Chains A and B, each alone.
Chain A
């Protein structure tokens, strides 16, 4: 059932909402081991792009391929290889950490052991049976990250994963991302935090008003490059 893929390709993808063009003729290729920094000002289309990569948003034109497969025909199989951490975190505050993970583990066809292992990795094993509503933002973020990675997805989509994290937590998340890429995942990291991204990403994809303005290997000096291409307005 699982359709593993080595690459993800967006071919001339556009998406509009009525008269507003969110993405315009975007072409992008992603391979295993990539940590792609998706940068751009607010409203540039980063979240829409992440949505399309997650197969939750359908492009109005263009093609999205996971390996050789289409999201349209192989939906569930492809979705089983995708993990998404969005700003909203996708957690049920009324349930405990363990219950949240166990639910999603079940949904992905994993056994309860996967939930326990994820709790360990999140460093929340001692708070496993506390309601998520009592967690700080940082704790929720760690839990949400592990929830997204429960099924060891091939494509990892992280939308602003560093929001509200302190220095130590940011370091832990960065390390986790490096491990994922080292094990062969494709990581897409949408963020405003240029300094963290600078040391972490292997490629930079810069969006501006729905267009891909730059797609190049990372070479340091991210903030300066960003300012030149996007401006400081």
Chain B
């Protein structure tokens, strides 16, 4: 991963620089006009968030099963990134909603579901920080349960909201907007990879530092 860092940074920077051009050139959506373009940030944020969530859950499960601290480092990094991109989605969502539907928060099924998963992973970060000794394992359990909960949250919130249909239907993707959309998704996913690399590097350095402290103890 280290060798890919520089080329990756360049690619991501280039993609993000070019993105506004693509987005500006994309077709306007019929009902919402310019506002809809926030979608190119909003949806890819979710892609990253849920990818990070599943990586965190999977790594946590492996950590509990095998005890290898490398899995724990991956889980910690993915968990943080999930919360950050989730926050991005939860901010862009109401911004969009305010303009499109007139209200900041309307208990839209998808936003609500994302809010719940975000809360679970904020809990993950809290328990890692304040859980006391052995908090890596506590966090791992939280991440596993949170990830396993995603289908249940999805089903329950969806049914909860569709029995009282009030929301406007999120526009389906027109072909002419597909290219900038998938470009944005790719850019975000590459950004995710870059951030994971950075964050994992940080965790590795922290572990190395711990080892050095312990080794220094040894020579006393």
CB–CB under 8 A between A and B in the complex?
A: yes
Contact residues, B187-220 vs A (CB, 8 A): 210, 213-214, 217-218, 220
Q: Is the CB of B218 within 8 A of A19?
A: no
A178 in the interface (beta carbon within 8 A): no
B133 in the interface (beta carbon within 8 A): yes
Interfacial chain B residues near A16, Cβ < 8 Å: 210, 214
A210 to B214: give the CA distance in the assembly, Å: 12
Q: How far is the CB of B168 from chain A (nearest CB, A)?
A: 51
Q: Is the CB of B217 within 8 A of A18?
A: no
Q: Is the CB of A17 within 8 A of B133?
A: yes
| Closest residue on chain B to residue A17 by CB atoms | B133
A18 to B218: give the CA distance in the assembly, Å: 15
Q: Is the CB of A24 within 8 A of B133?
A: no
Could you write out 6 A-B pairs with CB less than 8 Å apart?
Answer: A16-B214, A17-B133, A19-B210, A19-B213, A21-B214, A210-B217
Q: CB-defined interface of A190-210 with B at 8 Å, one 1/0 digit per residue?
A: 000000000000000000011
Q: Is the CB of B218 within 8 A of A24?
A: yes
Q: CB-defined interface of A209-224 with B at 8 Å, one 1/0 digit per residue?
A: 1100000000000000
A25 in the interface (beta carbon within 8 A): yes
| Closest residue on chain B to residue A18 by CB atoms | B210
Q: How far is the CB of A56 from chain B (nearest CB, A)?
A: 12
Q: How far is the CB of B103 from chain A (nearest CB, A)?
A: 47
Q: Is the CB of A25 within 8 A of B133?
A: no
Interfacial chain B residues near A24, Cβ < 8 Å: 217-218
Q: Is the CB of A21 within 8 A of B210?
A: no
A50 to B156: give the CA distance in the assembly, Å: 48
If A16-B214, A210-B217 are given as contacts, then 4 extra A-B residue pairs at C-beta distance below 8 Å, sorted by A number, are A16-B210, A18-B210, A19-B214, A21-B217
Q: How far is the CB of A210 from chain B (nearest CB, A)?
A: 8
Secondary structure dominating the interface of B: helix
A18 to B209: give the CA distance in the assembly, Å: 10
A209 to B214: give the CA distance in the assembly, Å: 12
Q: Is the CB of A25 within 8 A of B210?
A: no
A24 to B219: give the CA distance in the assembly, Å: 11
Interfacial chain A residues near B213, Cβ < 8 Å: 19
Interfacial chain A residues near B217, Cβ < 8 Å: 21, 24, 210
Q: Is the CB of A25 within 8 A of B218?
A: yes
| Closest residue on chain B to residue A19 by CB atoms | B213
Q: How far is the CB of B205 from chain A (nearest CB, A)?
A: 14
| Closest residue on chain B to residue A209 by CB atoms | B220
Q: How far is the CB of B36 from chain A (nearest CB, A)?
A: 49
Q: How far is the CB of B132 from chain A (nearest CB, A)?
A: 11
Interfacial chain B residues near A19, Cβ < 8 Å: 210, 213-214
| Closest residue on chain B to residue A21 by CB atoms | B217
Closest 10 CB pairs of A and B: A19-B213, A21-B217, A21-B214, A19-B210, A16-B214, A24-B218, A17-B133, A18-B210, A19-B214, A24-B217
A98 to B24: give the CA distance in the assembly, Å: 80
Contact residues, A1-49 vs B (CB, 8 A): 16-19, 21, 24-25
Q: How far is the CB of A85 from chain B (nearest CB, A)?
A: 23
Interfacial chain B residues near A21, Cβ < 8 Å: 214, 217-218
A25 to B214: give the CA distance in the assembly, Å: 12
A19 to B216: give the CA distance in the assembly, Å: 10
| Closest residue on chain A to residue B218 by CB atoms | A24
Which of A17, A21, A24 counts the most chain B CB atoms within 10 A?
A: A21
A209 to B217: give the CA distance in the assembly, Å: 9
| Closest residue on chain A to residue B210 by CB atoms | A19
Interfacial chain B residues near A209, Cβ < 8 Å: 220
A34 to B120: give the CA distance in the assembly, Å: 51
A92 to B24: give the CA distance in the assembly, Å: 70
Q: How far is the CB of A221 from chain B (nearest CB, A)?
A: 27
Interfacial chain B residues near A210, Cβ < 8 Å: 217
Interfacial chain B residues near A17, Cβ < 8 Å: 133
Q: How far is the CB of A125 from chain B (nearest CB, A)?
A: 41
